[in-house]
A = this chain, B = another copy of it.
């Protein structure tokens, strides 16, 4: 059965974007460090039209995830950084370029209606009827495959609160951001997680 899987990179201190987000710095201060681990991988690079890159278990994981996903859900801010009516959004075409890396239908949650946006290999459908409608549409589009919940934090928290997330795949980047957008915000123990085992990270400060 089609699952809803959260797949997101988070700093060791719990943020998915650094402080002071702007159009020039959509991930906030040092936020791009969150994705260093993935942009080095061969599978990520190939999807973004770049050569080379590392292979190994992390690369295999990213490739396997990409293959398993039939549709994506994201928030308006992850799509374009904007808010409010689309006519007023200077980035209404989104961050994702003419050849977006998704290559599958993307459902964008927004409060403002809009016709679908067709890019090469990826169609963005704008959903203003709420998270359950977006999930329903994405599941129908995904067929046998899974739906990935890509972010940002606000949308992730809405889906977690509603009990609609089947799996959380969190990539903890060895990075401290010191502030910014908290992935889990004030959710707290209202969301209980399994398995009950801790994950043991061993890190050393770079000198």
Contact = CB atoms under 8 A, between A and B. Distances in A.
Contact of A204 (B18, B167, B172, B177): B167
A200 B60 CA distance: 12
- The oligomer's copy count stands at 2
Interface stretch (A29-37, A100-108, A111-119, A141-149): A29-37
A135 to B, nearest CB: 15
Interface in A185-202: 185-202
A43 interface: no
Contacts of A40: 196
A170 interface: yes
Nearest to A10: B12
A58 to B, nearest CB: 6
Interface stretch (A44-52, A70-78, A158-166): A158-166
A179 interface: yes
Nearest to A11: B14
Interface residues of A, number: 57
A13 B202 contact: no
A196 B204 CA distance: 10
Given A14-B13, A58-B197, A205 B188 contact: no
A182 interface: yes
A174 interface: yes
Contacts of A205: 160, 163, 165-166, 168, 191-194
Given A14-B14, A61-B200, A167-B203, A186 B194 contact: no
A174 B194 contact: yes
